Amino acid sequence: TESLTVAELAKKLYREPSEIIKKLFLLGVMATINQSLDKDAIELIAGEYGVEVEEEIKIDITDLENYFVEEEGANLVERPAVVTIIGHVDHGKTTLLDSIRNTKVTSGEAGGITQHIGAYQVVEKDKKITFLDTPGHAAFTTMRARGARITDITILVVAADDGVKPQTVEAISHAKAAEVPIIVAVNKMDKEAANPERVMQELTEHGLVSEAWGGETIFVPISALKGEGIDTLLEMILLVAEVEEYKANPKRNAVGTVIEAQLDKGRGSVATLLVQNGTLKIGDPIVVGNTFGRVRAMVNDLGRRVKEAGPSTPVEVTGLSDVPQAGDRFVVLNDEKTARQVGESRAQQAVLAQRGEKSRVTLETLFEQM
Tell me the C-alpha distance between 110 and 231, whole Å.
21
Give the total residue count for the chain: 370
Residue 222 or 273 with smaller CB distance to ligand GTP: 222
The correct pick among 4, 42, 84, 95 for binding ligand GTP (CB under 6 A) is: 95
Name which of Mg ion, ligand GTP, none residue 114 binds, using a CB cut-off of 5 to 8 Å depending on partner kind: none
**Span of 29-37, 87-95, 211-219, 278-286 interacting with Mg ion by CB under 5 A:** 87-95
Q: Which residues contact 6 (CB under 8 A, 6 or more apart)?
A: 17, 20, 21, 24, 31, 32, 33, 34, 35, 37
Residue 87, annotated as binding a ligand:
yes
- Going through the chain in order, the beta strands assigned E by DSSP cover 4-5, 36-37, 77-78, 81-87, 119-124, 127-135, 153-159, 182-187, 218-221, 247-248, 255-264, 268-277, 280-281, 285-288, 291-299, 305-306, 308-309, 314-320, 329-332
What is the CA angle 263-147-84, rounded to 5? Answer: 65
Q: How far is the CB of 94 from Mg ion (least distance, A)?
A: 3
Known binding residue 116? Answer is no
Query: Least Å distance between CB 95 and ligand GTP?
Result: 3
Site string for ligand GTP, 213-252 (x = CB under 6 A): ----------xxx---------------------------
Query: Would you say 307 is a known binding-site residue?
Result: no
Query: How far is residue 256's CA from residue 279's CA, in Å, rounded to a whole number?
Result: 10
Contact, 120 vs 129, CB < 8 A?
A: no
Rounded least distance, CB 86 to Mg ion, Å: 11
In the window 133-192, what residues touch ligand GTP (CB under 6 A)? 187-188, 190-191
Residue 188 labeled ligand binder:
yes
Whether residue 11 is annotated as binding a ligand: the answer is: no
Q: How far apart are CA 146 and CA 132, in angstroms?
A: 18
The only residue of 1, 66, 94, 318 in contact with Mg ion, by rule CB under 5 A: 94
To Mg ion, the closest distance from the beta carbon of 345 in angstroms equals 39
> Which of 144, 137, 122, 311 is closest to 233 using CA atoms?
122
User: With binding defined as CB under 5 A, does residue 167 bind Mg ion?
Assistant: no
- From Mg ion, ligand GTP, none, which one binds at residue 269 (CB under 5 to 8 Å depending on kind)? none
What gap in Å lies between CA 9 and CA 17, rounded to an integer?
8
Distance spanning both ends of the chain, measured CA to CA = 14
Report the partner that residue 311 touches, choosing among Mg ion, ligand GTP, none (CB closer than 5 to 8 A by kind).
Answer: none
- Phi/psi of residue 204, nearest 5 degrees: -55, -40
Query: 47 a known binding residue?
Result: no
| CB-closest chain residue to Mg ion | 94
**Looking at beta carbons only, is 138 or 240 nearer to Mg ion?**
138
89 known ligand binder: yes
Closest separation between CB of residue 162 and ligand GTP, Å? 10
Please give the residue ranges that form the binding site for ligand GTP (CB under 6 A): 87, 89-95, 187-188, 190-191, 223-225
Annotated binding site for GTP: 87-94, 133-137, 187-190
